[in-house]
C-alpha cells in the first residue's frame, strides 16, 4: 500500500483563519468587537483545556472571548438563566455551551435556550434542523471541520459509502446529515451496533466520533478507505488506532493536528459571521 494522504488540520485551519483577519479588521473599524462567550459547567480537566484553547485562538485573531465557569452542582434553571442573560447582551455575538454538561442538567433544554442568531456552535434543535435541510444556520463546528477537510483535499463523497461511528448531538448526528446532503450513502453506527467491523469494512469513508481511544482497527478498513478521526480522548489520542489505520487508508487525519484545529477555526469563522449578521 502507498503512503496515505495526510490531511493536515493545522494547514486547513491556517487557511480559514487567514481569510478571517480582514473581516475582523473591518468589524473593528466599524466599532464592532466580535465576542464569543463559552460556558463551562463543572471541573472536567480536558473540558477546561479545550475552552482555554478556544479562548487563545479567539485572542490571536482579535475576537474577544469570555469564559463563564459554573460549578458542577449548577441547576438546569441557573444554567438557562445564564444563557438567557447572554442572549440579551448585545456585546455578545456567539455563545458556546461546552458539551457534555453534568448528567443532572437537561443539556437539550440548555442548548435550545441559545438564541439561533448566536448559536455559533450549531447545537440548537433549530440549528440542527436547518443544517439537515440546508437552510441558513451556523453549522456545528466539528462536523463542519470534517466537511472542510474533505473539501480542502478535493475528496468528493457523492455516491460513496460513508460510515459514521457515533451519534452524538454535536458530531455523529450532524455530520451524517452533512454527508447525506453531499449525496453520500450514510450508515450511522453507535454503541449498540452489532458487527461494527463488518460494516466499517464496506466504508469508502469512515468518520470516527465515538470517544473511545484507538477504537477503530486498521483491519476493519477496506484498503484505500478515507479516515477522518474526530476523536478527542485523554492523552491526545484519537478514536482510530493510527498505526494500523495508516497502513490501510488512502487518506487519514492525524490526532493531534487533524480535525481539532479545524474545529476551532470554524468556531472563529462562525463567530465573525455572527458579529457581522448581528450588527448589520
Ligand atoms: N459545545 C461544544 N462544542 C465543541 O466544539 C466541543 C465541545 N462542546 N466539547 C468538547 C469538544 C472537543 N473539542 C475540541 C476542539 C479542538 C481540539 C483540538 O484542537 N485539539 C488539538 C490538540 C489539543 C492539545 O494540544 O491539547 C489537535 O487535535 O490538534 C480538541 C477538541 C471541541 N468540542
In order of start, what are the domains of the chain with their CATH numbers? 31-116 (3.40.50.10860), 141-261 (3.40.50.720)
Confidence check: pLDDT of 2 > 90? no
d(CA 29, ligand 1 centre) in Å: 31
Confidence check: pLDDT of 1 > 80? no
Confidence of residue 260 (pLDDT cuts 50, 70, 90): very high
d(CA 280, ligand 1 centre) in Å: 30
What is the pTM (predicted TM-score) of this model? 0.98
Query: Is 172 annotated as a binding-site member?
Result: no
pLDDT digits (tens, 9 = 90+) for 104-154: 999 999 999 999 999 999 999 999 999 999 999 999 999 999 999 999 999
Q: Which of 61, 151, 169, 63 is nearest to 114 (CA)?
A: 169
Q: List, chain by chain if needed, residues with CB within 6 Å of any ligand 1 atom.
A: 49-50, 53, 96-99, 121, 123, 141-142, 170, 232, 236, 255-258, 260-261, 263-264
Q: How far is CA 17 from the centre of its chain?
A: 16
Q: Which residues on neighbouring strands pair with residue 237, listed in sequence order?
A: 233
Report, as residue numbers or ranges, the catalytic residues.
Answer: 54, 98, 121
Instruction: Give dist(CA 256, CA 227) in Å, integer.
Output: 14
Instruction: Give dist(CA 156, CA 197) in Å, integer.
Output: 24
pLDDT digits (tens, 9 = 90+) for 40-49: 999 999 999 9
Q: Which of 148, 144, 137 is nearest to 274 (CA)?
A: 137
Helix (H, G, I), strand (E, B) or coil at 205: strand
Amino acid at each position: 500500500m502507498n503512503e496515505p494522504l495526510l490531511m493536515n488540520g493545522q494547514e486547513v485551519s491556517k487557511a480559514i483563519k487567514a481569510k478571517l483577519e480582514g473581516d475582523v479588521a473591518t468589524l473593528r473599524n466599524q466599532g464592532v468587537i466580535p465576542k464569543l462567550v463559552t460556558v463551562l459547567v463543572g471541573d472536567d480537566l480536558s473540558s477546561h483545556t479545550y475552552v482555554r484553547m478556544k479562548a487563545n485562538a479567539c485572542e490571536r485573531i482579535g475576537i474577544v472571548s469570555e469564559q463563564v465557569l459554573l460549578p458542577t452542582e449548577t441547576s438546569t434553571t441557573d444554567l438557562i438563566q445564564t444563557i438567557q442573560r447572554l442572549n440579551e447582551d448585545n456585546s455578545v455575538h456567539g455563545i458556546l455551551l461546552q458539551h457534555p454538561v453534568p448528567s443532572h442538567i437537561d443539556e437539550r433544554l440548555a442548548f435550545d435556550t441559545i438564541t439561533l442568531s448566536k448559536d455559533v456552535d450549531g447545537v440548537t434543535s433549530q440549528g440542527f434542523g436547518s443544517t439537515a435541510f440546508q437552510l441558513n444556520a451556523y453549522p456545528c463546528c466539528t462536523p463542519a471541520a470534517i466537511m472542510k477537510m474533505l473539501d480542502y483535499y478535493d475528496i468528493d463523497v457523492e455516491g460513496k459509502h460513508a460510515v459514521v461511528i457515533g451519534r452524538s448531538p454535536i458530531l455523529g448526528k450532524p455530520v451524517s446529515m452533512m454527508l447525506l446532503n453531499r449525496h453520500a450513502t450514510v450508515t450511522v453506527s453507535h454503541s449498540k451496533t452489532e458487527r461494527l467491523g463488518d460494516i466499517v469494512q464496506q466504508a469508502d469513508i469512515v468518520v470516527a466520533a465515538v470517544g473511545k481511544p484507538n477504537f477503530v482497527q486498521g483491519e476493519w478498513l477496506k484498503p484505500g478507505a478515507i479516515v477522518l478521526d474526530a476523536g478527542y480522548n485523554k492523552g491526545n489520542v484519537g478514536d482510530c488506532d493510527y498505526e494500523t489505520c495508516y497502513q490501510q487508508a488512502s487518506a487519514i487525519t492525524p490526532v493531534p493536528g487533524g480535525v481539532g484545529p479545524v474545529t476551532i477555526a470554524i468556531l472563529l469563522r462562525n463567530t465573525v459571521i455572527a458579529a457581522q449578521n448581528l450588527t448589520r
